[in-house]
Amino acid sequence: MKDFFNTVDKILSNNLVKSGIIIIVSLILYRILSNILLNKTKKIKIVDNNRGQTYIKLANSVLKYAFIIITFIIVLQTNNINVSSMIAGLGLVGAGIVLAVQDALKDIIRGFSIISDSYFKVGDIVKYGDIEGKVLILGLKSTKIKCLATGNVISVANRNIEQIEVVSNNIYFNIPLSYELKQNRVDKVLMEIVDSIKRIDNIKECNYLGPNNLNDSSIDYLIGIELDNNEKKRQSRRDVIKEILLILEKNNIEIPYNQLDVHNK
């Protein structure tokens, strides 16, 4: 029995074994805390608190990097490597490392800025270049966006935050009508269009805003619409266009188009 305990003691005194145990314990602790945050996220989803979800997902990202750094430092100390001296002795090498990781530092700083400034949050609809999508994950280094058109998920570095636009839940339509139409009839038809649009699924509000443009062959009349769910914006736009065309057809009104007059000598 004494030999058994001596063997165990020798094994545990081995730095490689100690390092392995430290890593395993760290992984277990991270998994426990991560599961606690996951349970919190599930509870928040029930009340649909997107801002709360954003904070928790960012906290999970911070937790992961913190565990990696702390575990790395403890393992170095366990193997008799003086971390303080090592950091102090880096000198110019340390400065070079800082320059090498400056983009990563920009991403992390921007990640905190997104949260503190409430620029956007998980669940918001945003536009990045030609892509319009839903924010799925907001991490320390990047933001993941699901494209509404294709379903593809893209990752955007947080340092490119200036290129991301938060999409409004309002859409506007210019309805071109002929100059020959009397204003009273135009107003009546447009109010009929507005009342019909209000009955479409996902439409929160619709208003006729009046004449908007004087074109060569038509007058544009502007309609403003507010949506309940921005994620269904593309389908709502299609539904509204269809409804506009149906009402115009019902009232025997054609949408004007540019005409070219050709004169023969």
Query: Which tokens is 162 given?
Result: 């200036």
Which segments of the chain have a pLDDT < 70? Answer: 1-15, 37-38, 40-62, 81-118, 258-265
Which phi and psi (to 5°) does residue 69 adopt? -65, -45
Query: Which tokens is 80 given?
Result: 């008799």
Closest CA to 128 of 103, 106, 160: 160
**Terminal-to-terminal C-alpha distance of the chain:** 119
Which phi and psi (to 5°) does residue 123 adopt? 100, -15
What pLDDT, in 10s, does the model give residues 177-198?
999 999 999 999 999 999 999 9
What pLDDT, in 10s, does the model give residues 212-224?
999 888 999 999 9
pTM of the model: 0.57
Pairing label, strands 203-214, 142-147: unpaired
Neighbours of 95 (CB within 10 A): 10
Report in angstroms the alpha-carbon separations of 64 from 37, 107, 128, 202.
12, 16, 27, 39
Between CA 93 and CA 260 the distance in angstroms is 71
Query: Which tokens is 201 given?
Result: 């699924």
- Position 155, amino acid: S
Burial profile 110-128: b = 16 or more Cβ within 10 angstroms, e = fewer: bbeebbeeeebbbbbbbeb
Query: Which tokens is 125 given?
Result: 């609809």
What pLDDT, in 10s, does the model give residues 223-265?
999 999 888 888 999 999 999 999 999 999 988 876 555 545 5
Contact at 8 Å (CB) between 51 and 123? Answer: no
